[in-house]
Amino acid sequence: MNSQRRRSDRPLQFLRGFLKNPKEVGSVIPSSRFLTRRVLQCGDAASARVIVELGPGTGVLTREILELMPEDGKLIAVELLPEFVDLLHRSYPDPRLTLYNGSSADLEKALAEAGEAQADLVVSGIPFSTMERGEGRRTLEAAKRVLAPGGRFVAYQFRSAVRRMAEPVFGPAETRSGFWNLPPMRIYTFRRDTTPA
Ligand SMILES: C[S@@+](CC[C@H](N)C(=O)[O-])C[C@H]1O[C@@H](n2cnc3c(N)ncnc32)[C@H](O)[C@@H]1O
């Protein structure tokens, strides 16, 4: 387990990805396990069969999701950078995982390629504060469209841009903050069935 953990966190590959693509990667180190566990609790991931992960990076959250997912579960991970997609392919030869190399705004296409139309949970680590606004808005609208009844969208972020952008789409967020990570992150949980003001 420890060697698996070291492999999947891949801090050097993550840093290399950041140095090449600082705006897209948005952080110099992968998220901590304290943070990823909180994120999955907030999204009630244990009860989800289909999960979409936006921006898996080197796979720290991907691995946690696969560990708790049922045998018939599906994880669709949407990642912009091909070098991270290659790394994830090599690290996780798991039949429940489908990797999609492209933008989070194309998450419906990614789901369709995996043979699914709806997700119980969409979880996001992508940096909404630095991405192009139109792409951010299209991502959030697509996330809302694909959620099954009772579905959740959970975003973990250092800045609050995602909250401002997502509340008109989903309605009010439940916010959790704590020192689970460096830098400290907030976790925003949105529910498909909450009505925007
Ligand atoms: C802050 S890193 C988070 C990585 C990992 N989830 C973690 O928690 O350590 C953001 C990741 O999102 C990816 N990304 C950024 N914009 C994206 C987009 N529009 N669509 C898909 N992935 C994106 C980056 O390449 C990077 O892998």
- Using the atom order of ligand 1, give the atom closest to the CA of residue 139: 19
d(CA 8, CA 77): 15
pLDDT on residue 94: 97
What are the tokens at 51?
């999960």
pLDDT digits (tens, 9 = 90+) for 135-192: 999 999 999 999 999 999 999 998 999 999 999 999 999 999 877 788 888 999 999 9
Residue 77 in this model has a pLDDT that exceeds 50 = yes
pLDDT on residue 5: 47
Q: Indicate the domain borders of the chain.
A: 2-191
pLDDT on residue 180: 77
Residue 6 in this model has a pLDDT that exceeds 80 = no
> Considering only CA atoms, which residue is closest to atom 14 of ligand 1?
55
Residue 105, CB-side half-sphere exposure with 13 Å CA sphere: 9
**Mean of pLDDT values over 10-19:** 92
pLDDT on residue 136: 98
Residue 32 in this model has a pLDDT that exceeds 80 = yes
Instruction: Name the residue of 25, 28, 31 to mutate for ligand 1: max ligand atoms within 8 A of Cβ.
Output: 25
Rounded to the nearest angstrom, the distance between the alpha carbon of 56 and the centre of ligand 1 is 6
Closest CA to 153 of 131, 126, 130, 183: 126
pLDDT on residue 196: 74
Decide whether any atom of ligand 1 lies within 6 Å of the 136 Cβ.
no
Q: Which CATH architecture has domain 2-191?
A: 3-Layer(aba) Sandwich (3.40)
pLDDT on residue 8: 53
This prediction has a pTM of: 0.94
> What type of residue sits at position 144?
K
What are the tokens at 67?
């560990």
- Using the atom order of ligand 1, give the atom closest to the CA of residue 62: 6
- DSSP H/E element including 38: helix 33-42
